[in-house]
Amino acid sequence: MIRLVKDDLRPPATPPKRHLLSVGDLTRDDIDRLLGTARTFAAALERHVKKLPTLKGHLVVNLFYESSTRTSSSFELAAKRLSADTLTVKSVGSSVDKGESLKDTALTLGAYDPDVIVIRHPQIGAPQLVARVTDAHVVNAGDGKHQHPTQALLDLYTLREEFERLDGLHVAIVGDVLHSRVARSLVQAFALVGIRATLVGPPALLPRELPAETTVDIEAIRDADVVYVLRMQNERMEPGANFVPSLREYTARWGITPERLRPGQKVMHPGPMNRGVEIDPRVADSSDSLITAEVRSGLVVRMAVLYDLLTGGPVGVQALAAAEVA
């Protein structure tokens, strides 16, 4: 009897459509395939093929309930580069603003028969809701503090382009892990591909019981191949929150400065950066910074995700690779 109750709480059986809701949905094979497709697209873009006809006639809807220039424009451009039609709905100035529920918005947009809905929402699980009520493939572009799977994929892509491998790398993730969907997605993704992760930050910003190495000691970044700097979100630092005594103190003890890095140690950041807070401008602009590479990776990885969802995965990728060669 008890079992029955538990099973009732599980989401309905395997969804008929493929979605990208969480890194947890991916296998190692999925990741290798997606990164391979992304590399194919990068090669095509380098040959000044700015636009591929691949997704002509498909509709990609971007539904953004949180302000985000970089992620929404990256998805929009990715869709356009693949010749898909795009429709971007932002919460400001739309019926979303007038108190329409997410479910009703999703149903309304669903009536246009979109092939993909890309959603960012402050509530954990919002993409799962959209996936349940529409027929579209759903891509999670960030839900609360939960997941941001395309960020993890673009970071894996960036790392692989830089190091030509993923297995055995060691990445230190530094800063506000507690409030970071990027960190959560990365920890899962790193585990899948054999990257060692060390989480570093002030105690109140490291979640308890996250299955990963954690330390408050900033010296721990020295052993890592890459230092991945998380954004210190000002809104988390309201007076009275007391996660840290002050941003000034945070910077002094956990800020990433040239002095804290080994020569040649690579640095990443999901953006937008607070220069002078979590990352010293000299670090951000140094030749060891992979930050602009991450932005470029974002475009081709999101193209790969859209392509993969709409063309049924491995078979499609092989066909594309063949076409590119020919």
Report the residue count for the chain: 326
Q: Which is nearer to other proteins, 33 or 146 (CB)?
A: 146
In the bound state with other proteins, the residue whose beta carbon lies nearer, of 209 and 219, is 209
- Radius of gyration of the CA atoms of the chain, in A: 20
User: Shortest Cβ distance from residue 11 to other proteins (Å)?
Assistant: 6
Structural contact between residues 278 and 232, judged by C-beta atoms closer than 8 angstroms: yes
Question: Which residues, 6 or more positions from 175, have their beta carbon under 8 angstroms from its beta carbon?
Answer: 200, 201, 205, 229, 230, 231, 232, 254, 278
Q: How far is the CB of 235 from other proteins (least distance, A)?
A: 14
Nearer to other proteins, 179 or 269 (CB): 179
Name which of 5 and 322 has its Cβ closer to other proteins.
Answer: 5
On the CB side of 43, CA atoms within 13 Å amount to: 12
Q: Which is nearer to other proteins, 144 or 314 (CB)?
A: 144
Q: Count of CB atoms within 10 A of residue 122's CB?
A: 12
Nearer to other proteins among residue 211 and residue 264 (C-beta): 211
As a whole number of angstroms, the distance between CA 186 and CA 286 comes to: 23
**In sequence order, which ranges of 21-147 are alpha helices (DSSP H)?**
28-46, 69-81, 102-110, 126-133
Picking from 256, 269, 305, the residue whose alpha carbon sits closest to that of residue 81 is: 305
Q: Using CB under 8 A as the criterion, which residues of the chain lie in contact with other proteins when the complex forms?
A: 2, 5-6, 9-11, 124-125, 128, 144-147, 181, 184, 207-211
Burial class (CB in 10 A: 0-12, 13-18, 19+), 110: middle
CB of 128: closest distance to other proteins in angstroms? 5
CB 179, min distance to other proteins, A: 8
Contact 166, 218 (CB under 8 A): no
Strand partners, 200: 174, 215
Question: Least distance in Å: CB of 268 to other proteins?
Answer: 20
Rank residues 210 and 237 by Cβ distance to other proteins and give the closer one.
Answer: 210
* C-beta of 241 vs 252, nearer to other proteins: 241
Three-state secondary structure of 166-186: CCCCEEEEECCCCCCHHHHHH
- Cβ of residue 115: shortest distance to other proteins, in angstroms? 24
- Report the C-alpha gap between 309 and 54 in whole angstroms: 12
Residue 286 beta carbon to other proteins: minimum distance, rounded to whole angstroms: 31
Q: Which residues of 54-84 are buried (b: 16+ CB within 10 A; e: fewer)?
A: bbeebbbbbbbbeebeebbebbbebbbbbeb
In the complex, least distance from residue 207 CB atom to other proteins, rounded to whole angstroms: 4
